[in-house]
Amino acid sequence: MGPGIVVSMAWLGAGDLVDTSVSGGNYGYALMWSLALALFCRFFFVNAIAKYGLCNASGDASLMAGFRRLWSKLPVVIGVAAFVNGFILNTYMAVGVGTALFHLTGELGGNEDWGVFGWTAAAVAATAVLVGGGKRYRWLEIVARVAVAVLVVGFVSAAIVSRPAPLNVVRGLAFATPANEGLFSTLLVAAAVIGAVGGSAANLMYPEFMRDKGWRGPGFLRLQQVDLLVGIVAIIVVDLAVWIVAAQTVRANHLTIDGVTDLARMMQLAIGGLGPTLLWLGLFFVTFSSFPAYATGFTKILFAGLYESLPRRRERYGEGERDPLFNWLQVGVMVVVPLVFALPAFPDALTLTVAGSSIGVLLSPFIMGGTIVLTTAKRFMQPGYANRWWETVILLAVFGVGVWASYGVVRGLVELALKAL
């Protein structure tokens, strides 16, 4: 377990727990397969991204260098957009860590607003120390390993205690569709899930962490594939366990899931008094593994893009982490500034949420399209490492879904703008 665990625990955010619980409550066991399918689609795309870094014919350090071969300014465009997307994600993660600690300490710190802010400030300080030092990757790996152990044991135990019917679980994984939904609407739901994760900018963090681990060259390809698969399977296990708990409790108790506090109530109904504590512990590890990993990973993506499109700065500093701007952006912008969003007086961040989601989805076709071109064309890859035909078919199918999702975002933004006029 290495970079795959680090990046998978970063991908698994508080929003995943809420969305998975809502799906379990709305659809029961049906559509569980769509979540597993979406994450395996992510595996294929991230595996292609990693393969380019290990097996390209030009000695490029990462996919960002390959993007430069398609258009010289593409790396910096993707790098800047990904950094903005990562910053917005970290505003959620910071508050998530503070919320979890506030409840785990028996609501220590006064009323909820200022209590959450105080614990968020403590988490920000700890994270700044963690990522600001020279051994940041080692610490990220330790946090991720503890997180995956706690999450898998905790939520799988909760799923077992909730006593699901094994046959229903099997049906949910065997392409079952909701009773009140048609085939077309079911496919739309599945496509939305796949499109959201297939071309995510967060996928570009994986090769950055691979280099931190020291994995370079085709000799690490098989190890990388197993490493990534372990991380993806860990997410699937956690998400499906939460889905099962929701399917068993939400609909039967007429519970509405609007946020993480509702998840605590769901866990209490599922396994009793220990449930809320388990939920807050899980939320802490979900968000605290994401918060520092996003700070480091998205800053690395930014500098990878910046150095490819503006090579003079790379000639001056060599590696991005040696650049004096690196820690200012990693710690100052990605770790400290999100604390502002935990202030009780801070207004509703709906606009920021829409912007973050939109940037992520709009980046998707560029990341996926560039990945397909670079890993399929034999001139870009070492002999024997270009995509096989069936790999290209899978990547093109997910790419099509990603384009469809981006079109939906553009259409929604246009409609929103017209209403505002």
Report d(CA 115, CA 124) in Å as an integer.
14
Rounded Cα distance between 18 and 24, Å, is 10
Cα–Cα distance, 29 to 173 (Å, whole number): 8
* pLDDT of the residue at 175: 76
- pLDDT at position 353 is 54
pLDDT score for 160: 93
Cα(399)–Cα(195) distance, integer angstroms: 8
The pair of structure tokens assigned to 370 is 């560039």
Query: Among 246, 250, 260, which Cα is nearest to 112's?
Result: 260
| Per-residue pLDDT tens listing for the chain (421 residues) | 689 999 999 998 777 787 788 888 888 888 888 888 888 888 999 999 999 999 999 999 889 999 999 999 999 999 999 999 999 889 989 988 999 999 999 988 778 889 999 999 999 999 999 998 878 999 999 999 999 999 999 999 999 998 888 898 988 888 777 765 555 556 655 655 555 555 578 899 999 999 999 999 999 999 999 999 999 999 999 999 999 999 999 877 888 887 788 889 999 998 888 999 999 999 999 999 999 999 999 999 999 999 999 888 888 887 778 888 999 999 999 999 999 988 887 654 545 555 666 677 778 889 999 999 999 999 999 999 999 999 999 999 888 877 877 777 677 767 767 776 7
Helix ranges (DSSP H) in 310-330: 311-317, 324-327
Q: How far apart are CA 176 and CA 32, in angstroms?
A: 8
* Homologous superfamily of domain range 3-420: Hydantoin permease (1.10.4160.10)
What is the C-alpha to C-alpha distance for residues 177 and 123, in angstroms, rounded to an integer? 42
Would you give the distance in Å from CA 313 to the centre of its chain?
A: 30
Q: What is the pLDDT of residue 280?
A: 94
DSSP state of 108: T
First to last CA, the chain: 52
What's the confidence (pLDDT) of residue 21?
85
CA 42 to chain centre: 10
Three-state secondary structure of the chain? CCHHHHHHHHHCCHHHHHHHHHHHHHHCCCCHHHHHHHHHHHHHHHHHHHHHHHHECCCCCCHHHHHHHHCCCHHHHHHHHHHHHHHHHHHHHHHHHHHHHHHHCCCCCCCHHHHHHHHHHHHHHHHHHHHHCCCHHHHHHHHHHHHHHHHHHHHHHHHHHCCCCHHHHHHHHCCCCCCCCCHHHHHHHHHHHHHHHHCCHHHHHHHHHHHHHCCCCHHHHHHHHHHHHHHHHHHHHHHHHHHHHHHHHCCCCCCCCCCHHHHHHHHHHHHCCHHHHHHHHHHHHHHHHHHHHHHHHHHHHHHHHHHHHCHHHHHHHCCHHHCHHHHHHHHHHHHHHHHHHHCCCCCCCHHHHHHHHHHHHHHHHHHHHHHHHHHHCHHHECCCCCCCHHHHHHHHHHHHHHHHHHHHHHHHHHHHHHHHC
What are the angstrom distances between the C-alpha of 361 and each of 127, 350, 366, 374, 406? 28, 17, 10, 21, 5
Tokens of 303: 């500098």
| Angle, alpha carbons 297-300-305 (nearest 5°) | 130
Compute the radius of gyration of the chain from its Cα atoms.
Answer: 21
